[in-house]
Amino acid sequence: MLREYCLERKLPYDECGKLVVAVDPGEVTRLDALAERAAANSVPGLRRVGPAEIRDLEPYATGLAALHSPRTAITDYVAVARAFAEEIEAAGGEIRLNFPVRRVTPAPGGGLLISARPPHRSAVAPSGGAAAAGGDVAVDELIVCAGLQSDLVAGLAGDEAGPRIVPFRGAYMRVVRAKADLVRGLIYPVPDPRYPFLGVHFTRRVDGSVEVGPNAVLATAREGYRLADLSLREVYGIASWPGAWRMAGKHWRTGVREIYGSLSVRAYMRAARRYVPLIGAGDVVRAGAGVRAQALDRDGSLVDDFRIHRVGTVTAVRNAPSPAATSSMAIAEHVVNILEEQRQ
């Protein structure tokens, strides 16, 4: 759906392909299991390739075996989001930026009243977006898609506490211009089924730059995009969720390894060099970071599938993990179907 949308709206769309590369024998077995799942899901054009073909496709990559997905593509998601916004406005919808929802209450004549507090200064869009706004909005139906705040906003609307969102900060490195051409498309490791989101990978972007990353380290604020961001209230919120301690007990070794990778560019790039040996610590500069909204159940298990709750007239998307940007149009269609079924 996103492909068609990008083509229709003339948004950037580059089918640069993806290689999922196994670098040790243990990973080859997992690669085969992944190939079976991909076939069951009709992933178009997927092929298993050996070392020689890896080099044909990505001349500077190495590995024992790989899955090649020729149809995997990249786009500019900011441009996609702008296009969605234009469509909403053209259809008579209204977009309110800087509207941090603080309360959801029943409206006197039926429906719900959504109240916002004036945003914190730092939350105001630096690009001169909409002016700081507070106020109320009355709605018949509410759909909550609040990402890193999804549990809190859903809670305001009467939904249950779990799953809770635990933020994981993932830093990226950018490959210097002189070496960016060593990567043609996307080069990914074989995912560990316990942590499908971990593993440093190479991503070509539509502007021609190449990024390496991310790692994943528990963030000290929900929107902790910088290492120094700290919210004691939010840290307390994480620590008071029993699942957080159970997760720490189960996964602390992986956590320590990720922290080490986040502090040492050399350690980080050592992992990346297993895939592209010619790109080392001297060939990258620190780039931005993303924060992953990791949903966590009370028993400490990481929620890796979509979770959508329905409470009265509220539909809360409690967990929309990657690739929820790619599949956003399909998710929207699914949510609309849920609403339509309720109406019948």
Strands (E), the chain: 13-14, 18-22, 47-49, 65-69, 74-75, 101-106, 112-116, 135-139, 142-144, 164-175, 186-189, 201-204, 210-213, 217-218, 284-296, 307-311, 314-319
Which of 13, 99, 188, 268 binds ligand FAD (CB under 6 A)? It is: 99
Q: How many residues in the shown chain lie near ligand FAD by CB under 6 A?
A: 22
Shortest distance (Å) from residue 252 CB to ligand FAD: 22
Best CA proximity match to 97, nearest among 81, 113, 111, 75? 81
Which of 22, 73, 145, 210 binds ligand FAD (CB under 6 A)? It is: 145
The answer to whether the CB of 170 falls within 8 A of the CB of 259 is no
Which of 325, 330, 336, 339 binds ligand FAD (CB under 6 A)? It is: 325
What are residue 182's DSSP bridge partners? none
Which of 170, 185, 189, 199 binds ligand FAD (CB under 6 A)? It is: 170
Shortest distance (Å) from residue 51 CB to ligand FAD: 27
The answer to whether the CB of 17 falls within 8 A of the CB of 202 is no
User: Is 324 an interacting residue with respect to ligand FAD (CB under 6 A)?
Assistant: yes
User: Is 214 an interacting residue with respect to ligand FAD (CB under 6 A)?
Assistant: yes
User: Is 219 an interacting residue with respect to ligand FAD (CB under 6 A)?
Assistant: no
Best CA proximity match to 5, nearest among 95, 75, 96? 75
Cα–Cα distance for residue pair 224/257, rounded to 1 Å: 20
| Residue (65 or 166) nearer to ligand FAD, CB | 166
| Residue (146 or 244) nearer to ligand FAD, CB | 146
Which of 306, 321, 332, 335 binds ligand FAD (CB under 6 A)? It is: 321
User: Is 231 an interacting residue with respect to ligand FAD (CB under 6 A)?
Assistant: no
Shortest distance (Å) from residue 75 CB to ligand FAD: 9
Which of 62, 115, 149, 313 binds ligand FAD (CB under 6 A)? It is: 149
| Residue (143 or 180) nearer to ligand FAD, CB | 143
From residue 11, alpha-carbon distances to 1, 77, 83, 90, 155 in Å are: 13, 9, 9, 18, 36
Question: Largest alpha-carbon pair distance within the chain?
Answer: 69
User: Is 230 an interacting residue with respect to ligand FAD (CB under 6 A)?
Assistant: no
| Residue (47 or 102) nearer to ligand FAD, CB | 102
From residue 311, alpha-carbon distances to 116, 157, 315, 331 in Å are: 21, 8, 6, 18
User: Is 6 an interacting residue with respect to ligand FAD (CB under 6 A)?
Assistant: no
From residue 279, alpha-carbon distances to 20, 60, 127, 206, 313 in Å are: 18, 9, 34, 20, 52
| Residue (65 or 186) nearer to ligand FAD, CB | 186
Please report, as ranges, the residues that interact with ligand FAD according to CB under 6 A.
Answer: 99-101, 145-149, 153, 170, 214, 290-292, 317, 320-326
